[in-house]
Amino acid sequence: MDPFGSSHPEAVELFRSHFGLGGPRSDLDTLRLILRHYARIPYENISKIIKVAQHPDLEGKFRLPQEVMEDHIEHRLGGTCFSLTYFLEQILLASGFSCHKAMAHMQAGENIHCVTVVEISGDRYLVDPGYLLWEPLPVSTERPRVSYTPRGGVELAYDPIGRLFHLFTLDVGGRKWRYRFADQAVSDREFREHWIASFSKPTMHNILLNQLTEKGQLYVRGNHLRLTSLSEEKKANIRQDYHYEIHRLFGIDPRWIEEALSILKQQRLEWRQRKGLGLG
């Protein structure tokens, strides 16, 4: 199935009905409302690890809007930046917004993150479900713009020399650079190619979860949990109660977690075997 062959109206309607949203509108208040509800869908790669491993065919590896929404309702799952950005774009387009996808570059590599830029009455706004921006952030070449969430501040600044926008987070740990992007629309074809490349990126080698709550940002990488807010940062090692803690914090059934861990364990074993044979 071509993931870009449909506007996915059934998934959009399921999103609206599940969160009790009204019909299509394309004003700033509606954009805020959509993002607040969409932020309840977590960033997680558990479902992606499982699906990529289970489907030898390329098309079967994509998690499209209907699957993302159904899995969220039934299993509290979400997706990674590609599936979340693509689904959000479908919701916004169906609501009448003018928007486009753009690729972003992080410290770990180029074109490994993606964002959406929305235009309303001549003004542009950054929305980023992968990085949990639940407020539209004005895209301005004139001065840095700052928005606040329970995790702290988010700053978007323009570099006129490189003609790139840079996103920083502001919290108890200080000001940290996160990614950069050019406000240029990426074609569906190119977006699809980067999505395919993500199936074998380092972010698939460990479990990652990310969600914004009223208390701050919950972030899990491997065995490490971090809760970040504007006033504090708490860290914990959850290795001993891993399945329980992820279920408690994110509501994801331990069976999904165990399946993803089993796949990762098998992949590490195969990698060591190839390395021992001098094959990689």
Per-residue pLDDT of the chain (280 residues; tens, 9 = 90+): 455 666 799 999 999 999 999 888 889 999 999 999 999 999 999 999 999 999 999 999 999 999 999 999 999 999 999 999 999 999 999 999 999 999 999 998 999 999 999 999 999 999 998 876 778 999 999 999 998 877 788 999 999 999 999 999 888 878 999 999 999 999 999 999 999 999 987 777 899 999 988 888 899 999 999 998 878 889 999 999 999 999 999 999 999 999 999 999 998 888 777 766 665 5
Going by C-alpha positions, the residue among 118, 115, 132 that lies closest to residue 30 is 118
Q: How far apart are CA 210 and CA 229, in angstroms?
A: 13
- Summarize pLDDT for 120-177 with one digit per residue, the tens: 999 999 999 887 677 899 999 999 999 887 778 899 999 999 999 999 988 887 899 9
The β-bridge partners of 72 are none
Which residues have CB under 8 Å from 223's CB, separation 6+? Answer: 237, 238, 239, 242
SS3 127: strand
> Structural domains in the chain?
9-276 (3.30.2140.20)
Q: Would you state the pLDDT for residue 226? A: 94
Residue 254: CA atoms inside 13 Å, Cβ hemisphere, count?
A: 6
Q: How far apart are CA 192 and CA 114, in angstroms?
A: 11
Alpha carbon distance, N-terminus to C-terminus of the chain? 32
Q: How far apart are CA 212 and CA 32, in angstroms?
A: 15
